[in-house]
Amino acid sequence: MAEAVTLSLEALVTLEHDVEPYVMDWPDVLSDDGEPEAAVLIVSKRPGGFLAAVPVGFLPEEVLANGNVDPPPGLVGPSTVLRVQGKVMDHGTLAPTGALLTVVVVDLDEGVVNSLRTVGQEEVYPFTFDPDQPFAIPDPPQLLTMVRDWLSANASSTQAAYLSLAEEEAVDLEDAPLEEDRSVNTPPPRRARKAAPGKSGLQTQESDLL
């Protein structure tokens, strides 16, 4: 395993700039081996927090439900559930997998950065975005578009902060080349993820693209 790297909010790489998976540790989630970890992507950042794309079923349903109250009582804020095209890195480019991925997009306080780390070489972890295709990630341009639609439909100060930053730092990912990231091609996990959480007040959006 690669040497651990201390992360900060400023150092996190968002999908607006590149594809950089991280590993999230969540104390309330334990696999059969006692490994509370999942592959996550940083969608966007705001002052004091960030949006993360997390495999559905990883964060406890009650945690997500509490985050959807106004104002959120803890480190976890508003969230939504999206259905996004799956992509996999193939010789430096992202190719479609032919499957839709169910992804939780959740606002997190910058204190959660302490629960993130970079992906080590030859590392496995139990939760990925697709248990059948463990290298798959949600399509970045489509995910960003759907997230911005969700943000635009909500009027809270948290969502407004992301929108204001997006207007200043918008990047056309469809035209920008994606660098091949070795951490995307990590070995497959040992097991499938948990079942998806219930409705719990979460909004679900589904793309009709396959």
196: left (phi over 0), alpha (psi -120 to 50) or beta: beta
**In Å, how far are 15, 16, 70, 113 from 144, measured between CA atoms?**
8, 8, 24, 21
pLDDT at 174: 46
Using the predicted structure, report yes or no on whether residue 140 has a pLDDT greater than 50. yes
The Cβ-side half-sphere exposure at 189, using a 13 Å CA radius, reads 25
Residue 208 located in a structural domain: no
pLDDT at 5: 61
Residue 67 located in a structural domain: yes
Residue 209 located in a structural domain: no
The answer to whether 175 and 204 are in contact (CB under 8 A) is: no
Query: pLDDT exceeding 70 applies to what percent of the chain?
Result: 70
Residue 170 located in a structural domain: yes
Per-residue pLDDT band for 116 (boundaries 50, 70, 90) equals: very high
Residue 185 located in a structural domain: yes
In angstroms, the CA 127 to CA 55 distance is 7
Please tell me the total count of domains within the chain: 1
Residue 196 located in a structural domain: no
The count of residues in the chain is 210
The answer to whether 89 and 185 are in contact (CB under 8 A) is: yes
Q: Compute how many other C-beta atoms are within 10 angstroms of the C-beta atom of residue 168.
A: 6
Residue 122 located in a structural domain: yes
Q: What are the tokens at 116? A: 């993130």
Residue 51 located in a structural domain: yes
Using the predicted structure, report yes or no on whether residue 130 has a pLDDT greater than 50. yes
What does the pLDDT look like over 167-208, one tens digit per residue? 665 544 444 454 444 444 443 333 333 333 333 334 445 444
Of residues 114 and 166, the one with the higher pLDDT is 114
pLDDT at 164: 76
Query: pLDDT exceeding 90 applies to what percent of the chain?
Result: 43
The residues, ordered by sequence, that sit 6+ positions from 127 with a Cβ below 8 Å of its Cβ are: 31, 37, 38, 39, 55, 57, 58, 189, 193, 194
Structural domain boundaries, residue 152: 22-191
What does the pLDDT look like over 16-47, one tens digit per residue? 899 898 999 887 654 444 557 888 999 999 99
pLDDT at 15: 93
